[in-house]
Each structure stands twice: as C-alpha cells, then as structure tokens.
Amino acid sequence: MAIKHKPEEIIAKLRQVDVLTGQGKSIAEAVRTIAVTETTYFRWRSEFGGMKSDQVKRLKELELENTRLRRAVSDLTLDKLILTEAARGNF
C-alpha cells in the first residue's frame, strides 16, 4: 500500500537528501534514509524541486481548483448540447 505524503513532507525529505548528499553520501544512500524509492525521489524532485512549502501548497490548491473548474465547464457544455438538441426538435 502506497503512503500518501503531504507536499510539506515531500519538501522536507528533498531537503534532507540535499543535506545528506552535501555531506558526501550518495543519492542512493540518502534516498534510502528518507524511506522512498529512487524513482519516487526523482519524480518528487522534478515536480517539487526548488519550491518552498508554501509554493507547493498553493500549487496543489490551484490544481484542485483547476479540476473543479474543468468539471464545471464540462457539465455546462453538456447542458448546452442537450438544450441545443431539444431546441432543434421543437422547431
């Protein structure tokens, strides 16, 4: 079962790896220390690298808002298509 990490936890773990590699440990050793796979580490680094905790939190909020807005546009588009078809049948 996969553990869901909060963005703040991810940032802290990425910083921890940076500190450990700065102390001379290999990336593999540092990643083992934070208890994730190297694949997860590199995915996190590409997504969150260089960001601060508040920026990551804001990014996640915007992604949720974007999803909500896309769903609303999709629903409205479907409603419009249904009304257009209904109007064609009435005239």
Tens digit of each residue's pLDDT (9 = 90 or more) over 34-84: 999 999 999 999 988 888 878 888 888 999 999 999 999 999 999 999 999
Tens digit of each residue's pLDDT (9 = 90 or more) over 2-41: 678 888 888 899 999 999 999 999 999 999 999 999 999 9
- Alpha carbon 27 to its chain centroid, in Å, reads 23
| Cβ(13)–Cβ(42) below 8 Å | no
Is the pLDDT reported for residue 1 higher than 60? no
The whole-number pLDDT of residue 4 equals 83
| Cβ(22)–Cβ(29) below 8 Å | no
| Cβ(4)–Cβ(12) below 8 Å | no
The CB density around residue 88, as the number of other CB atoms within 10 Å, is 8
The whole-number pLDDT of residue 90 equals 60
- Alpha carbon 76 to its chain centroid, in Å, reads 26
